[in-house]
Chains A and B, each alone.
Chain A
Amino acid sequence: MDEQKIFRISFFPHIRDKASTSRIMLDVIIALLPAAAFGVYNFGWRALLLILICTATCMLSELLWDVCMRRRIMLRDMSAVVTGLILALNLPPTLDWWAAVIGSVFAIVVVKMLFGGLGQNFMNPAVAAKCFLMISFAGRMNTFVFQNVASATPLEVLKAGGNVDLLQMFLGNTSGAIGETSALALLIGAVYLFIRRIIDFRIPLFYILTVVVYISIYSMITRGGIDGTFLAAHLLSGGLLLGAFYMATDYVTSPVSPSGRIIYAVILGLLTCTFRLFGSAAGSVAYAILIGNLLAPLIEKVTRRKTFGKGAHLK
């Protein structure tokens, strides 16, 4: 590793920055804290317990893997904490602790470490673990209890044709996964990420924009006009904001080129809405991001910037 300190080999222009993996991860953790805090306030101590279990299991499994495989222990980069936190925020507060442990171990060991650790994983570990848990424990993952009453998430209410309270959805006093209910808390965190320049605006913007366009067209066809409540409820519910700002923007699994990011975000939006409106509402954001992650290398290849002067003589 010392060689890297002596030689810094890269293409010009060189931009020096103090950014490091651990600093970026720390910023993401800070940005997620409002949502996590609101989740604990909303769902009580069980939510806190799940967040702690997921984070601890992720860190522990990364540590154990590094020790067993005689790798350098990279726990200090805090990516395991982020994975655990995002996974926990995606879980229903009533989930059994052992299912959360299984999900965390799957995220770190199978999705991240088996493929070479941070930077090598082809899927977002937290999203993959969420889908893994949704397939494995469909019943447990779709039971949402809010204020001691089993209740449907706003998205399920919407799908069944019921009415939702938009203000409560914005504030987060609804049923759902720990971190996805409060749009306000997620937006506060997102603003922090933008100020710290951690995430690119393109992915969340075009993701949400695509959802707006898709839902508008859908409601124009099926309801004879754009239904503002329906549209707003779709934007505020089902972890769309959590997915758009925190999960889809993962550096490792999203394309690098600006145009690639737009394509990626549009694909995510189309998939999410298709899953929501024509399939089962549960986990549509997670599945969309998973498919988007798998397409990312292809998008990267298509949108690669041409080397200056290359290919011009062929025309």
Chain B
Amino acid sequence: MPPIRTRNKRKPPPDGFEDIEDTLLEFENKMKDAENAPHEGKRRNEMLWPIFQISHQRSRYIYDMYLKEGITRELYDWLLKNKYADPLLIAKWKKQGYEKLCCLKCIQTKETNFGSTCICRVPKARMSKETVVDGCASSD
């Protein structure tokens, strides 16, 4: 059996972690709540929405902190390595047109029937007025 690495036994995180620790803990708690929320009456995909949302928020928070130089490169890498943020999603944000992308699933065309992206990738200007969607197109 591999040794259990508890928080106290691990190597300490890089400097500056204590600054963002509280916010990360809050995200962690939110995520736990979302995971344990009842699923009755929800569709299969619907259950995942809050998970994606919180994951997005946390990744955005860490990326923003890194851009604002609130955390060092070292700590940023450590956070990515320890899965506090989604590096693949952040990598997309660096691409033009994907600055606000909400989740990787939204641009995964293989999973849809007509090979299209999610509706939230449609710019608001292109959408009919009746459709109310919180889009993540960068033009919105």
Bind each other: no
